[in-house]
Amino acid sequence: MDAVVLAGGKAGPEDPLYPYIQDKSKALVEIAGKPMAQWVLDALSEASSIDHVLVVGLDQDCGLTCAKPLHFLSDQGHMLDNIKAGLHHNSERNPSAIRVLLASCDIPAITPEIVDWRVQGSLEYESDIDYAVVDRKTMEARFPGANRSYIKLKDYELCGGDLNVIHVSLIEKEQLWTRLIAARKNALKQAALLGIDLLLLLLMGRLSLKDAERRVSERIGVKGRACLSPYAEVAMDVDKPHQLELLRQDLTNRGTPVT
């Protein structure tokens, strides 16, 4: 399977990470001696399930490397635009691709084993979107103090992951992409995508994970699967300074021999 790494965007003064990033790309902020995105590329490099890697949002002179064939595509302005452009670009290069692994640049704690587990698990299902979620207990056991945001369902408290698999046929759903892109910064439009009834059920914790999976899939017109991940790393992204420092310490310790 090919992988698309989303590495676009820069922090503005209002971003909590701006003092760390300034005018650099977030993908290139240093973590334990490497650019953050390099940790992601290293995991993809060693994953046996990955063939080619496309980085969206950076140019080839950014200094990132990968053991797999590596391609670059310039930033399209917003995350959903980058996803859509990445799928188009990858399909033009590899018309036989059926699914693509989408990885955010800010999940540096992932490993090759996690990537292979994620890819292999997705192949067992015929989903348009195979979306990773992590239970609060799993996250807090692995990363105490991460302070993630959670959605409370009947059976779990979940946060979303950033290592997901998408069927390339979604490129053709222009109406869906138009609605998603239009709603990306508008809470009312985001709520309208789901419908107020479904949104209220989610907010009230009245749905189980399987119920939510089915209802959201029906509402937006795609076949979705929520993959409950035993690996907190897929959802340990860097949005705030304390999360950056947490991962700097975690990944520094990863390279320290056990005595």
As a whole number of angstroms, the distance between CA 111 and CA 40 comes to: 8
Q: 105, 139 in Cβ contact below 8 A?
A: no
Kind of pairing, strands 99-104 and 53-56? unpaired
In a domain, 232, yes or no: yes
For residue 10, give the DSSP letter.
Answer: B
Distances in Å between the alpha carbon of 128 and those of 122, 135, 138, 232?
10, 22, 26, 23
Q: 6, 230 in Cβ contact below 8 A?
A: no
Please state the pTM of the whole predicted model.
0.89
* CATH number, residue 182: 3.90.550.10
Count structural domains, the chain: 1
* Domain of residue 198, residue span: 2-254
In a domain, 259, yes or no: no
In a domain, 133, yes or no: yes
In a domain, 9, yes or no: yes
In a domain, 235, yes or no: yes
In a domain, 227, yes or no: yes
Q: What angle is formed at CA 166 by the lines to CA 164 and CA 172, rounded to 5 degrees?
A: 150
Write out the chain's pLDDT in tens, 259 residues.
Answer: 999 999 987 777 788 888 888 878 899 999 999 999 999 999 999 999 999 999 999 999 999 999 999 999 999 988 888 988 999 999 999 999 999 999 999 999 999 999 999 999 999 998 999 999 999 999 999 999 899 988 888 899 998 899 999 999 888 887 777 776 665 555 556 556 667 776 677 767 778 889 888 888 888 888 989 999 999 999 999 989 999 999 999 999 986 543 3
